[in-house]
Structure 1
């Protein structure tokens, strides 16, 4: 019976809260900026009678709502980061929010395509001066927002951190900035050359662009939610660290993301000369991104160890 404290062998499940804290603050600033722009456009549209300003004001409101989802996800993860009901912490809340935002982006892209197609069939008069003012204002707000949301979140060999919630917020801003640029191009040429068809054409181009971004974000965040990524670089690193030590062979390896920049790992290894679990943990201590490691050590009783593929030929170790 243990009569001493177990704190040496326990740990909290707060993975990545420092990084998420910075992202949460930036996202809140962008939500506030977007809401401010929305109120300015709605007020100006009301007093000037401009439907273009009113329409873009409500459009800004829809983006503020989508960005609000990202901000809420950060707040939820922060409030529940010590909740033991979340076995591996709340890191995946961001990926869930990213997937939800991808659906909103996809719906927006579909609306852009349908509305633009309808403008080819039934063109509407365009008030170019007001529309250009709206596009410039929208682009300015989105460039400032993109600067606030900029970060080093990426996912490639050696850098395994990826905040899908922040990526979703950034994509919302980037999508709006792209549509503003396309709108400026279409409106400028339309006003100068009388090419009214450019407005719905650029709408279709923008819808396809935003739709492709939404699909990519949905695919990446869904892979995290379903633990469907093979994590090739990280898996090779873990195998190399373990199998270069003595005659160790990894019989079973599981890796999955538990938050931005954080992975959990389960390693089952076979060896002729078992060492304490702490020895194998030390081998993986410098692997970037490994935050939660569980190791199972099995002693081999056969003359020679080999990889699992040799089991069918009778040459693999018998774990016991």
Structure 2
């Protein structure tokens, strides 16, 4: 058999997605965050402000998270055709999102512990300096959020048939920015309440609220990305669409069906069917060509002997 004939039956296993714009924007956000981090840490050390130092080191964790996001994009692109990966590097971005989600959970936990400590041992707060820092951080985070905004972002983690419309790696970076923005907003509220009303306890209370919201975001992202990484099956609607499409043709009956994500935008399926009127695998793949995101299909056709399952007219 000639090589050019074989190539006609071979296909790409590149299920990654071109995310050059997302990668560029994430680099800009990482630079903005890193510059703000350095400025806060230096100013905190010079002026002896614990608020500045704490926020600076907090931003350092987000710089690391953005680094994970960028690394995932670059690794997926550089290893697209690496034979070590059976279905390509489509899940690398999902893995990056998972790692960032774990980092968010750690941040939420540390915020919760710090807030608990401040309830029992209130700290002296330099209100004017701290408010200034929080406002600067909020401005930087709002600008970063606009750069990272994913127009296909969905908050409903249970709606799994939307997985293929999301970039989980970019979503993770976006949530890190939102977490920082939320922290700044809550800090501003608490600091104004402390300065003008004397409610110093608001600092710790807002810390708890922020930690709870960030933990919720983290949980949703871990669930979404973990579902894909563990080859979780797709929603019932997609399954039914495949079954109905195959079984409405002739007297075909599907005996085994497995569907999973090989990338955040692509589905793979292995299908075993039995029929009295067998066709080539390409025939059945062609039937499924309109199923959204179905990028890799393997079909086993078994010839059934005996009476047909349905009465049909074979021309």
Change (3 A) 1:68 1:170: same
Query: Counterpart in 2 of 1:10?
Result: 10
TM alignment of 1:111-260, pairs within 5 A: 111-151=110-150, 152-154=152-154, 157=161, 160-260=164-264
Q: Deviations over 1:34-79 (max 9, x none)?
A: 1122223234334444332232122211110111111111111111
Runs of 5+ consecutive residues of structure 1 not aligned to the other structure: 307-320
Deviations 1:205-225 (A, max 9, x none): 111111121122112211111
Match of 1:287 among 286, 291, 307: 291
CA offset at residue 80 of structure 1? 0.6
What whole-Å deviation, never above 9, does each CA across 1:238-257 have from its counterpart, x for those lacking one?
Answer: 11221222222111111111
Correspondence list, 1:20-59, <5 A: 20-59=19-58
Q: Which residue of 2 aligns with 1:309?
A: none
Runs of 4+ in structure 1 displaced over 6 angstroms? none
2:164 match: secondary structure = coil
Q: State the match for 2:92 in structure 1.
A: 93
Could you tell me whether the CA contact under 8 Å between 2:232 and 2:261 is conserved in 1?
Answer: no
What is the RMSD of the two structures over their aligned residues, measured on CA atoms?
Answer: 1.8
The verdict on how the C-alpha distance between 1:48 and 1:300 changes in structure 2, with shifts beyond 3 A counting, is same
> 1:312 is matched with which residue?
none
TM-score (norm 1): 0.89
Q: Secondary structure at the match of 2:182?
A: helix
Q: Which whole-Å CA distance do the structure 2 matches of 1:294 and 1:100 have between them?
A: 31
Query: Residue 274 of structure 2 aligns to a residue in which SS?
Result: strand
Distance 1:219 1:27 in 2: 23
Residues 23 and 149 in structure 1, CA contact (< 8 A), matched pair in contact too: yes
Q: TM-score, normalised by structure 2?
A: 0.90
Contact 1:267 1:294 (C-alpha < 8 Å) held by counterparts = yes
**Which segments of 5 or more consecutive residues in structure 2 lack a partner in the other structure?**
311-315
